[in-house]
Amino acid sequence: MSETIAIANQKGGVGKTTTSVNLAAALAEAEQRVLLVDMDAQGNATMGVGVDKKALPATVCDFLLGEKGVSDALQVVQDGDFFLLGANADMTAAEVGLRERKAGRLALRAALKEIEHSFDYIIIDCPPTLSMLTINALSAARGVIIPMQCEYYALEGLSDLLQTIESVHDVVNRNLHVEGVLRTMHDPRNRLSGEVSNQLIEHFGDAVYKTIIPRNVRLAEAPSHGLPITKYDSGAAGAVAYRALAREILGRDDNEILDSEGDGARRAVSSIFKRRARA
């Protein structure tokens, strides 16, 4: 069974798409079967792996609204390393259409069930809003990774996201939990980055990934070339960091298989998370 992970934070510019694209690429490099799902009308994850969002034969919108099958929208990317379900501006129509459907918030989960057996990991790039598209992603996911900048206002709006995760867990997806918090755009030369990093650990403890994503010029350049950092500059600090994150995630999942109480422990962390964020 695949591990489905939503990359979510309603705060924009925190590295959601960068993490979605590069984590997918790093997991594929580690010989995992990976599907990247773009749920954002901006289509940045789609463009970030070298696919023209305006030339897609079918999009996530098409199968969410039942106009085409999910297999019609599958794209092979990066020399066959992994697969993509792409998005473009049509996703605004999906947002409206799903609200009018009785089971609209479960459309993505229903569609992915048709193909999830073909993948080890499904990575979902969420839009920067707590919208019907984000609800769909959370309803389909098992875990949520929350990227957070190592800058002022890092915790701003986090309680709203955690409340949404809790609501989705209680109402439609009992498997949903917070997978972890990822520190992004970290500059070790900047005292503020270190202070915010320590603040996140103080708040969330073991829920914070050990891996830190640095502020890196090559990482910022890669999307303009339609490549994940592992392809654009394999030796760059950003590439090293996302490979480390992939290993950390694979290690956590291996430990969960060995420890039958692992899932319960991580949900307990999620509960602590929520209480602290509301405090």
For each of the domains in the chain, give its residue range(s) and CATH number, in order of start. 7-278 (3.40.50.300)
Average pLDDT for 167-194:
90
Rounded-to-integer distance, Cα 156 and Cα 10, Å: 10
Average pLDDT for 114-143:
95
Closest alpha carbon to 47 in 11, 20, 27? 20
pLDDT of residue 256: 62
pLDDT of residue 228: 96
pLDDT of residue 1: 67
pLDDT in tens, 56-106: 999 999 999 999 999 999 999 977 789 999 999 999 999 999 999 888 999
Rounded-to-integer distance, Cα 224 and Cα 49, Å: 10
pLDDT of residue 155: 76
How large a percentage of the chain has pLDDT more than 90?
70
DSSP string, the chain: --EEEEE--SSTTSSHHHHHHHHHHHHHHTT--EEEEE--TT-HHHHHTT--GGG-SS-HHHHHTTSS-GGGGEEEETTTTEEEE---TTHHHHHHHHHTSTTGGGHHHHHHTTTGGG-SEEEEE--SS-SHHHHHHHHH-SEEEEEEESSTTTTTTHHHHHHHHHHHHHHT-TT-EEEEEEEEEE-TT-HHHHHHHHHHHHHHGGGEEEEEEEP-HHHHHGGGGT--HHHH-TTSHHHHHHHHHHHHHHHHHHHHHH-TTHHHHHHHHHHHHHHHHH-
Closest alpha carbon to 50 in 201, 222, 213? 222
Tokens of 244: 């480390």
Average pLDDT for 263-271:
44
- Whether the per-residue pLDDT at 279 is higher than 80: the answer is no
Let me know: does 86 contact 51? Beta carbons within 8 Å. yes
Q: In what order do the strands lie in the sheet with 121-125?
A: 74-77, 82-85, 34-38, 121-125, 3-7, 143-149, 177-186, 208-214
pLDDT in tens, 135-167: 999 999 999 999 998 887 777 778 888 999 999
Please, which pLDDT band fits residue 122 given cuts at 50, 70 and 90? very high
Please, which pLDDT band fits residue 254 given cuts at 50, 70 and 90? low
* 78 vs 239, higher pLDDT: 239
Rounded-to-integer distance, Cα 90 and Cα 115, Å: 22
Mean pLDDT of the chain, nearest integer: 89
Rounded-to-integer distance, Cα 11 and Cα 27, Å: 25
pLDDT of residue 274: 46
